[in-house]
C-alpha cells in the first residue's frame, strides 16, 4: 500500500492547518455511506473546505467517489491501525484547503484504488470520465514485480510524463506525499530516511517549481526533522523560546497598519512566522537571531497598483534596506509567484522583512498551480482548436524535462539526471538572434543553449555570438543575454575591406564547421597534432570520421538534454576519443628555402635584396626599401608600419621598382574556427588556385579562433585576390589578409 502509518508525536505541522481527527474519520468510515439525501459524514469537512473556495460546486460526485473508495479499501488498515480510507480522505482535504476543483478532489479520493484494490481503470473511466481516470492512472505506481529496482524511477517518469499533459497529477502526488510524511513515525528509521531523501531530492523541488509553497514548506520541515534531527530539535527549542517571550513583530506590524490607514490604503497586515527550515537557514547565515528574524510581515491589498502604493509609503515612513528590494510583480518567478519584497528598519534598528501582494497573488503563492482551478476547461464553453488543450501550466522546465527523459532510457541515468536537474532551482531567459526565446537553468552555457534550440543538430555547433560578440561555447549565459549559435552550414558574417582582401576580411559559409571547446578555447579539431608545430601542408589536418562534440563539452553542459545528447554521440562514435599518430612526412613536402634574388630593382648596386616578411609585398604594390645591417636592402609595402618606424629613425629610403617577372611570394594570415579537415581543405583551395606552399604554421587556438600563416609562391601576382577569395570560401574561415606586421610571439 502507498500510504504509511501515523506518527502520534509529529510536531512540525504548519500552524493554522486543519487538524484531522483520524479516529473520528475511521469511525465514520466504518459506518459506511450515509443516506442518499446527504453526503457521508466522513467527507463532511472536505465538502466544507471545497465549498469555501467553490460555492457552486456539485458535491454529489465527491460522495459517489467516496462510496467507491470506502468500499474498495474496506478491510484495509494503515500500519497505525486506522482504516485505510483515512489516507485518501486526508489527501483530499489537503487539496480542498488549497482550493482544488472537483475533478482533482474526485481523483484524489480514488488515487489508491487501482493500485491497492480490485478496481480497474476501466471502471473509474466508466463511473467518472476520462479526466478522473487519467489523473488516477498518473499517480498509480508501477509494480515492483514487473520493474524490480527500476520501479521507483520509472514510476516518477510515468508521473512526470502524465504531468506534462495534466499538471493536476503532480498536485495529487504532492498532497499524497505530504500526508505520508506526516504519518511516517512508526516506520523503520532507515525507511524513513530513504523516503525523506527522495522527498528532498524530487518532490520538494517539484513543489517549488509548481509554486505550491504551502506543501513545499511543510514537506521541508518534515524532511528536516528526519534527516537532521539534532538541528531540528535545536531550531524547535529556539522557536519555542521566542514564542514564550512574545512576538516582537507586533509593534512594527501596528506601526505599518497605522501608516497605511493614514495614507487611506485599505490593506490587511499579518505576521507570518518562518517555518523551521527557514529559521535554521537564517540562523546559519546571520549567527545570533533577533526577534524580528523569526517572521515576516505580509501586507495584502486589493489591486496591483495598491502594492506599489504600500511600497511607497513604507519607504517614505520607514528606513528602507534597498538591497533587499525585489519586484516579482513586474517580473514574476517561473513558478507563477508574484510579490514585492522589501525590508525596513524598525525603531530599535532591527530589520523587518515585508512581503506585499494582492489577495489573488497570495492565493497563487500558497497554492501555485492548484489555485488555477481547472486550467484545461474550454474558454467560454468553446473547445480548443484542433482538439488540443491550451496548457498554461507547462513551463519551460517541464518541457525540457519531458524532452530529455525520452533520451534517458536507462532508469539509473534518468533517476540520477532527474535529481541533478531539479537541484538547479533558478531559471534564466535568453533571447535568440532570430527573435525567439529560450528558458534555461541558471548557470547554463552556450552548449546548453545550442541543444535547447537545435536538439541533436547542435552536434554541429562551431561557436556562438553572445550579445553580438564571438564567445566560447563554455560562456555562461545570464538572464537577458542574446545568443546566436553558429552551426555547420550556417553563414558567418564578417566585414570586408577592399577588393584585394586587405583589412578585416570576409567570412564564407560555415558549412561543416565543428569546433572543439576546451578549457582554454576551441581547438582545431579534436584529434589534430600540436598546432604550434609547423605542419606538412600536403597532409593538412588529420581527418575525422564524423563531425561532432568533444568530451570537453560535457564539462560545459549543465542541462540534462545537452549532457545526454553529447554522451550519446560520444558513445556512438568511440573513435572520436582516440588520437591517431601524426602521418609521415613526404620528402618532397619539406619547407623550401628563400630565393636568393627578389623580383625587384633597387638603386644600390650589387646589394642583396629581400622582401620584408612583415608585409610581403607583391606586384603591383607600391614599395620602398631601406638598407639594413650588412648592406642588404629590405623591401616593404609603402603602407607597412615598419616604413614609418624607419623614417622616424632617420633612415633614408631606397628607390625600388618591380622587375619583369610575374612570379611572386606572399605571406597570408587566415583566421578560422577549428574543425576537422580544415587544413586539408585550405591546402586544397590553395593548390587549386595554382599557388605553391613554401611554409605553413598554425598558432595555438585562443578564444574560439585559430590563426594560420602561409608563405605562398604564386606564378602571377594578379592571381592573389582570387587566391584570397578561394581561401575565404573554405568552410570555417572568416578572415584572410596579407601580413602587415610581425605576428605576436
Q: Which residues are catalytic?
A: 115-116
Task: Return d(Cα 229, Cα 6) in angstroms, integer.
Answer: 18
- Contact assessment for residue 739 and residue 669, using Cβ atoms and an 8 Å cutoff: yes
Crossing angle of the two packed helices 44-53 and 60-73, in degrees rounded to 10:
150
511: Cβ contacts below 8 Å, ≥ 6 apart: 488, 489, 731
Bridge partners (DSSP) of residue 355 are 298, 341
Q: Which class for 281: exposed (0-12), middle (13-18), buried (19 or more C-beta within 10 A)?
A: middle
- CB under 8 Å, gap of 24 or more: what pairs does 688-692 form? 688/726, 689/719, 689/722, 689/723, 689/726, 690/714, 690/715, 690/719, 690/723, 691/715, 691/719, 691/723
Cell of 491: 553563414
Specify the 3-state DSSP secondary structure of 461: strand
Q: Map grid coordinates 460546486 to a residue.
A: 57
Tell me the helix, strand and coil percentages in the chain, rounded to 5: 45, 15, 40
Task: Return d(Cα 137, Cα 80) in angstroms, integer.
Answer: 27
Whether the CA torsion 713, 716, 720, 723 is positive or negative: it is negative
Crossing angle of the two packed helices 151-165 and 130-139, in degrees rounded to 10:
150
Cell of 711: 608563405
724: Cβ contacts below 8 Å, ≥ 6 apart: 500, 501, 668, 736, 737
| Residue 213 backbone dihedrals phi, psi, to 5 degrees | -65, -35
**Pairing verdict, β 461-466 and 623-627:** unpaired
Task: Return d(Cα 249, Cα 319) in angstroms, integer.
Answer: 16
Task: Return d(Cα 584, Cα 577) in angstroms, integer.
Answer: 21
Task: Return d(Cα 79, Cα 97) in angstroms, integer.
Answer: 26
Cell of 106: 474526485
Residue 172 falls in which region: left (phi positive, over 0), alpha (psi -120 to 50) or beta: alpha
What's the start-to-end Cα distance of the chain, in Å?
72
Cis peptide before 620 (omega within 30 of 0): yes
Task: Return d(Cα 648, Cα 742) in angstroms, integer.
Answer: 18
Whether the CA torsion 188, 192, 193, 198 is positive or negative: it is positive
Cell of 466: 553572445
CA 476 to chain centre: 10
Task: Return d(Cα 302, Cα 470) in angstroms, integer.
Answer: 48
Specify the 3-state DSSP secondary structure of 93: helix
Specify the 3-state DSSP secondary structure of 690: coil
Within a 13 Å sphere around the CA of 71, how many CA atoms are in the beta-carbon half?
11
| Residue 382 backbone dihedrals phi, psi, to 5 degrees | -100, 140
Cell of 370: 492548484
Q: Name the DSSP letter for residue 410.
A: S
- Residue (of 198, 137, 235) closest to 4 by Cα position: 198
Helix (H) or strand (E) holding 587: none
Q: Which class for 648: exposed (0-12), middle (13-18), buried (19 or more C-beta within 10 A)?
A: exposed
Amino acid at each position: 500500500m502507498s500510504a504509511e502509518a501515523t506518527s502520534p508525536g509529529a510536531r512540525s505541522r504548519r500552524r493554522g492547518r486543519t487538524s484531522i481527527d483520524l479516529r473520528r474519520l475511521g469511525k465514520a468510515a466504518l459506518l459506511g455511506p450515509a443516506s442518499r439525501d446527504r453526503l457521508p459524514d466522513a467527507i463532511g469537512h472536505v465538502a466544507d473546505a471545497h465549498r469555501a473556495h467553490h460555492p457552486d460546486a456539485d458535491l454529489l460526485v465527491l460522495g459517489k467517489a467516496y462510496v467507491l473508495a470506502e468500499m474498495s479499501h474496506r478491510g484495509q488498515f494503515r500500519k497505525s491501525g486506522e482504516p485505510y480510507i483515512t489516507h485518501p480522505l486526508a489527501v483530499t482535504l489537503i487539496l480542498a484547503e488549497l482550493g482544488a476543483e472537483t475533478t482533482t478532489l474526485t481523483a484524489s479520493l480514488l488515487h489508491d484504488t487501482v493500485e491497492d484494490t480490485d478496481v480497474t481503470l476501466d471502471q473509474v473511466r466508466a463511473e467518472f470520465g476520462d479526466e478522473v481516470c487519467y489523473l488516477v492512472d498518473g499517480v498509480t505506481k508501477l509494480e515492483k514485480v514487473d520493474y524490480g529496482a527500476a520501479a521507483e524511477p520509472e514510476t516518477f517518469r510515468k508521473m512526470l510524463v502524465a504531468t506534462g499533459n495534466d499538471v493536476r497529477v503532480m498536485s495529487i502526488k504532492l498532497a499524497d506525499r505530504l500526508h505520508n510524511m506526516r504519518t511516517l513515525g512508526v516506520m523503520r528509521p532507515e525507511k524513513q530516511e530513504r523516503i525523506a531523501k527522495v522527498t528532498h531530492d524530487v518532490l520538494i523541488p517539484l513543489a517549488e517549481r509548481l509554486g505550491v509553497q504551502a506543501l513545499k514548506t511543510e514537506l521541508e520541515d518534515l524532511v528536516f526533522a528526519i534527516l537532521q534531527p539534532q538541528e531540528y530539535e535545536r531550531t524547535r527549542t529556539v522557536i519555542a523560546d521566542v514564542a514564550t517571550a512574545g512576538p516582537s513583530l507586533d509593534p512594527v506590524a501596528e506601526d505599518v497598519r497605522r501608516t497605511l490607514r493614514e495614507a487611506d490604503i485599505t490593506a490587511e497586515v499579518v505576521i507570518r512566522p518562518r517555518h523551521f527550515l527557514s529559521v535554521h537557514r537564517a540562523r546559519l547565515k546571520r549567527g545570533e537571531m533577533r526577534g524580528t528574524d523569526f517572521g515576516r510581515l505580509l501586507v495584502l491589498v486589493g489591486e496591483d497598483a495598491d502594492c506599489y502604493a504600500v511600497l511607497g509609503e513604507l519607504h517614505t515612513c520607514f528606513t528602507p534596506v534597498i538591497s533587499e528590494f525585489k519586484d516579482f510583480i513586474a517580473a514574476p518567478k517561473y513558478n507563477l509567484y508574484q510579490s514585492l519584497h522589501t525590508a525596513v528598519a524598525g525603531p530599535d534598528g532591527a530589520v523587518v522583512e515585508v512581503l506585499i501582494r494582492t489577495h489573488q497573488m497570495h492565493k497563487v503563492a500558497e497554492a501555485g498551480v492548484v489555485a488555477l482551478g481547472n486550467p484545461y476547461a474550454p474558454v467560454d464553453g468553446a473547445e480548443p482548436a484542433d482538439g488540443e488543450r491550451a496548457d498554461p501550466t507547462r513551463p519551460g522546465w517541464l518541457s525540457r524535462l519531458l524532452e530529455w527523459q525520452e533520451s534517458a532510457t536507462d532508469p539509473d541515468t534518468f533517476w540520477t539526471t532527474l535529481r541533478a536537474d531539479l537541484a538547479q532551482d533558478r531559471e534564466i531567459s535568453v533571447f535568440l538572434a532570430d527573435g525567439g526565446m529560450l528558458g534555461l537553468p541558471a548557470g547554463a552555457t552556450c552548449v546548453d543553449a545550442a541543444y535547447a534550440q537545435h536538439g541533436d543538430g547542435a552536434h554541429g555547433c562551431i561557436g556562438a555570438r553572445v550579445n553580438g560578440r564571438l564567445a566560447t561555447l563554455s560562456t555562461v549565459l545570464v538572464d537577458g543575454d542574446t545568443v546566436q549559435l553558429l552551426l555547420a552550414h550556417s553563414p558567418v558574417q564578417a566585414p570586408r575591406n577592399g577588393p584585394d582582401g586587405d583589412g578585416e576580411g570576409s567570412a564564407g559559409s560555415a558549412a561543416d564547421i565543428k569546433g572543439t571547446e576546451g578549457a582554454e578555447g576551441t581547438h582545431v579539431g579534436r584529434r589534430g597534432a600540436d598546432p604550434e608545430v609547423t605542419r606538412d601542408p600536403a597532409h593538412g589536418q588529420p581527418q575525422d570520421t564524423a563531425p561532432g562534440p568533444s568530451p570537453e563539452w560535457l564539462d560545459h553542459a549543465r542541462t540534462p538534454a545537452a549532457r545526454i545528447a553529447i554522451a550519446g554521440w560520444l558513445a556512438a562514435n568511440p573513435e572520436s576519443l582516440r588520437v591517431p599518430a601524426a602521418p609521415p612526412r613526404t620528402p618532397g613536402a619539406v619547407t623550401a628555402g628563400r630565393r636568393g634574388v627578389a623580383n625587384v630593382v633597387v638603386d644600390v648596386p650589387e646589394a642583396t635584396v629581400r622582401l620584408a616578411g612583415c608585409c610581403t609585398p607583391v606586384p603591383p604594390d607600391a614599395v620602398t626599401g631601406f638598407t639594413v645591417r650588412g648592406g642588404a636592402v629590405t623591401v616593404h609595402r609603402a603602407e607597412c608600419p615598419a616604413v614609418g618606424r624607419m623614417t622616424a629613425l632617420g633612415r633614408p629610403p631606397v628607390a625600388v621598382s618591380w622587375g619583369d617577372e610575374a612570379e611572386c611570394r606572399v605571406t597570408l594570415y587566415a583566421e578560422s574556427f577549428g574543425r576537422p579537415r580544415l587544413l586539408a581543405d585550405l591546402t586544397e583551395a590553395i593548390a587549386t588556385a595554382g599557388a605553391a606552399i613554401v611554409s605553413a604554421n598554425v598558432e595555438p587556438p585562443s578564444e574560439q579562433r585559430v590563426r594560420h600563416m602561409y608563405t605562398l609562391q604564386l606564378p602571377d601576382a594578379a592571381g592573389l585576390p582570387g587566391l584570397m577569395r578561394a581561401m575565404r570560401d573554405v568552410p570555417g574561415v572568416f578572415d584572410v589578409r596579407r601580413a602587415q606586421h610581425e605576428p605576436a610571439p
